[in-house]
Structure 1
Amino acid sequence: MLFSYTITSFFFLLLPLLSIFFLIKASTPKKQSSLPPSTAIRLPKSYPIIGSFLAVVANRKRQLQWFSDILQVSPSATYVLHSSIGTRHVMTANPAVVQHILKTHFPNYGKGDYFKGTLKDFLGNGILNVDGESWKFQRQLASHEFNTKSLCKFMEIVVDTEISDRLIPILSVAAATGTVLDLQDILQRFAFDNICKIAFGFDPAYLLPSLPQTKFAQAFEETVKISSDRFNSVISVIWKIKKLLNIGSEKQMRIAVSVVKEFAKNIIRKKKNELKEKASLDSVDLLSRFLCSGHLDENFVTDIIISFILAGRDTTSSALTWYLWLLSKNPHVESEVLKEIKEKSEALVYEEVKDMVYTHASLCESMRLYPPVSADTKEAVSDDILPDGTVVKKGMTVTYIPYAMGRLETLWGSDWAEFKPERWLEKEEAENRRWRFVGRDAYTYPVFQAGPRICLGKEMAFLQMKRVLVGVLRRFKVVSAVEEGVEPEFDPQLTSKMKGGFPVRIVERDA
């Protein structure tokens, strides 16, 4: 998660400097990506009193890439950014540091007051925004939904039904009519239906041929966007003042959040009635588990629902969007994926999907370059020293950046910029030429987090993505309609997106 630079006490002192800097910024040349790192990347200058505040402002619209650039030239892939008086933030792409904060010293690095405060309006006390006993309780109950039996049911009933009854018909019509689709939108709708079905036993029917624009979906998108803007704001006191005065984006936020929460509460009420009417349920979903656990507080359960919708809807759709774009630009990879798909039966079972080694490797490779969650911030509970010697004081934030880690030559080699699934594979035996997947440790590749908070839905996400790819690629070729020579822009919101959507043409494959 990208963190914000809080300049509360010195807001009025720094505002004039900010204005002056904007005047000179236009004449500052931008980094040319074709230049070697030694000449293209410079560590930010730090001045007395204001630290690197001017550099922060100058790079506010490319914050993620700027952080990645800095970490590329930092000797230990860790850097302490002095953003203002007494404000220091640690950012890292060092696997040893990631292991330190996510596992070895896990109790010392929590969400922190700033993180939780920024997302409080949206996520409340849901699993994505809490620490301690509340987090443990939610995770323990949620873990029941991610066992092998649940995964099989999820793939064979929920995902397959959504693919055959909704996704494929929409793609078929687009292929027949030559319609350009926003595939990112389609995949978000698909993932939204899935997470609601498996977690709450509720079908929102969002992926219909009419592609309905529901009030909830628009409100959810707006809430995610404004929450992301809060994190990326250079002077966070501004959004706090706007919230206090109920004006601008914060007024929009209040309205959108109320729509999202009312939607979640309606799901809860329907589920409560369902539980009252039935002595036992054939399929106990996640929401039922929470309600049956004795936690009937509507606000608390609402926060849980919103967290799981965000996690289940946006991460897999983001991963698939970037994957299908990369596949459209790398026909040799698409050929290998298709070869593996054709080796499987038409009606895949759990083990067949799980055993798609090359496809699995290509998904890992795609998420290395375009992780669904590009950065995540923790806050130190007490003073500490990181493995590379960096001193962390109580209250300082430490942000590990998977986006930057996937671009480090020291971790992935000089060909890190290539989309190369083979870097995750090795041949099992020379005579049969079968691939064997060779994973990286979770601290070198923390796309699904690591340690005690590692993503519960990791295996479910892979199964869902592979099943979608089988269903879609067996019948259709996805052709990017992005303008030739233009690379889509990576938009690091709470979960990353392709800015402006992913326009595609769907082409029916020959039988």
Structure 2
Amino acid sequence: MSIIELLASISLLVLSIFFYLTKNTKSRASSKSDPNLPKSYPLIGSSVAIFANRKRLIQWTSDLIRNSPSATVVLHRFLDDSRVVTGDPANVQHMLKTQFQNYEKGSKSRRALFDFLGNGIFNIDGDSWKFQRQLSSHEFSTRSLRKFVETVVDTELSQRLIPILSAAAANNAVLDFQDILQRFAFDNICKIAFGYDPAYLLPDLPVAEFAKTFDEAAKISSGRLNSVFPHLWKIKSFLNIGSEKRLKEALLRQTIGN
């Protein structure tokens, strides 16, 4: 390569970076004018703020929405990967009902959640989703299944949840209500969907291996989408290290357990 060609290549690279940064700066002008939004930088966006709040992401984004006049914020991540977070009921209705067909999960989400959800109804789009929805809606519309669900939930409620709450009230004990409701929901889902009772909601609040591995797999899978660096999980998965190694182990334990 001649010196002229090298200089031309470098010039094109510099110009490309310049236009990219200019575009990002303009797109973030509204973010900078709003003091309630996290500071956004070229290339990395608001990754610093996202990383700082990674352990309280739901609370943090809820605060951002609450302080936003439109109840909607745009978070820019690494390399201009943007996320729109909204708490506006009209927006939610537009996306989940009125124009649902226009808001697919997309390939990024499907790839990130595939190891955990596979090609199930919660991780597909288009005709495949419609087909599975028709099957599931037909099943859940049958009287026998509705009666079965009612019986399962009523049993879990009367024989497990209420006695635990009553005992805590009588003894003036403190309960982690989120944990209690998670156990209640997990027992119901397993009994209804799999015909298996993990007995997760008992007075001694046992550690159920299946529930533990399920929860870990769910957290790591969702963490792929919430990571500051969107493609980092692929590298970790290829090298079989860190959270990706734990995910594979958790999924393997679930498979063996089933």
Structure 1 length as normaliser, TM-score?
0.38
Which residue pairs with 2:180 in the alignment? 186
Which residue pairs with 1:245 in the alignment? 239
Equivalent AA in structure 2 for residue 129 of structure 1: N
Cα offsets for 1:415-446 (capped at 9, x unmatched): xxxxxxxxxxxxxxxxxxxxxxxxxxxxxxxx
Match of 2:229 among 229, 232, 235: 235
Which residue pairs with 1:154 in the alignment? 149
Matched, 1:166 2:166: no
Question: Where do 5+ consecutive residues of structure 2 fail to align?
Answer: 1-33
- Say if 2:78 and 2:229, in contact at 8 Å, map to a contact too: no
Which residue pairs with 2:36 in the alignment? 42
Which residue pairs with 1:107 in the alignment? 101
**Larger relative helix fraction:** 2
Are residues 143 and 58 of structure 1, via their aligned partners in 2, closer, same or farther at CA, if it must alter by over 3 Å? same
Distance 1:192 1:54 in 2: 35
Distance 1:237 1:70 in 2: 25
Are residues 86 and 220 of structure 1, via their aligned partners in 2, closer, same or farther at CA, if it must alter by over 3 Å? closer
The Cα shift of 1:214 comes to 2.7
Distance 1:96 1:173 in 2: 42
- Say if 1:41 and 1:70, in contact at 8 Å, map to a contact too: no
Match of 2:58 among 51, 58, 64: 64
Distance 2:82 2:171 in 1: 55
Match of 1:195 among 167, 189, 193: 189
- Give the aligned length: 224
Distance 1:88 1:197 in 2: 39
The Cα shift of 1:234 comes to 1.0
Question: Where do 5+ consecutive residues of structure 1 fail to align?
Answer: 1-39, 267-511
Are residues 236 and 214 of structure 1, via their aligned partners in 2, closer, same or farther at CA, if it must alter by over 3 Å? same
The Cα shift of 1:184 comes to 3.5
Cα offsets for 1:388-432 (capped at 9, x unmatched): xxxxxxxxxxxxxxxxxxxxxxxxxxxxxxxxxxxxxxxxxxxxx
Cα root mean square deviation, aligned: 3.2
Cα offsets for 1:282-321 (capped at 9, x unmatched): xxxxxxxxxxxxxxxxxxxxxxxxxxxxxxxxxxxxxxxx
Are residues 191 and 133 of structure 1, via their aligned partners in 2, closer, same or farther at CA, if it must alter by over 3 Å? same
1:234-313 alignment runs, 5 A limit: 234-263=228-257, 266=258
1:423-434 alignment runs, 5 A limit: none
The Cα shift of 1:244 comes to 1.3
The Cα shift of 1:55 comes to 3.9
The Cα shift of 1:122 comes to 1.0
- Say if 2:113 and 2:222, in contact at 8 Å, map to a contact too: no
- Say if 2:51 and 2:228, in contact at 8 Å, map to a contact too: yes
SS of aligned partner of 2:36: coil
The Cα shift of 1:129 comes to 1.1
The Cα shift of 1:219 comes to 0.9
Matched, 1:220 2:214: yes
- Say if 2:213 and 2:251, in contact at 8 Å, map to a contact too: yes
Match of 2:198 among 193, 204, 211: 204
1:409-488 alignment runs, 5 A limit: none
- Say if 1:79 and 1:92, in contact at 8 Å, map to a contact too: yes
Match of 1:94 among 71, 79, 88: 88
Equivalent AA in structure 2 for residue 254 of structure 1: K
Distance 2:153 2:83 in 1: 41
Taking only the aligned residue pairs, the percentage that are identical comes to 61
